[in-house]
Chains A and B, each alone.
Chain A
Amino acid sequence: MNIFRLIGDMSHLLAIVLLLLKMWKTRSCAGISGKSQILFALVFATRYLDLFTAFISAYNSTMKLFFISTSLVTVYLMYFKFRATYDANHDTFRLEFLVVPVGGLAFLVNHNFSPLEILWTFSIYLESVAILPQLFMMSKTGEAETITSHYLFALGSYRALYILNWVFRYYFEGFFDLIAVVAGCVQTILYCDFFYLYITKVLKGKKLSLPA
Chain B
Amino acid sequence: YLQAQEKDEL
Contacts and interface: CB of A to CB of B under 8 A. Distances in A.
A127 to B, nearest CB: 11
Interface string A168-181: 00000001010010
SS of A interface (majority): helix
Nearest to A8: B10
A100 interface: no
Chain A interface residue count: which class?
Answer: 20 to 34
A196 B5 CA distance: 37
Interface stretch (A27-35, A59-67, A91-99, A134-142): A59-67
A9 B7 CA distance: 15
Contacts of A60: 8, 10
Contacts of B4: 50, 53-54
B9 A180 contact: yes
A67 B10 contact: yes
Interface in A151-188: 162, 165, 175, 177, 180
A57 B10 CA distance: 11
B10 A54 contact: no
A67 B8 CA distance: 15
A54 B7 CA distance: 9
Contacts of B10: 9, 12, 60, 63-64, 67
A118 B9 CA distance: 16
Contacts of A165: 9
Contacts of B9: 5, 162, 165, 180
Interface of A: 5, 9, 12, 50, 53-54, 56-57, 60, 63-64, 67, 111-112, 117, 120, 162, 165, 175, 177, 180
Interface of B: 3-10
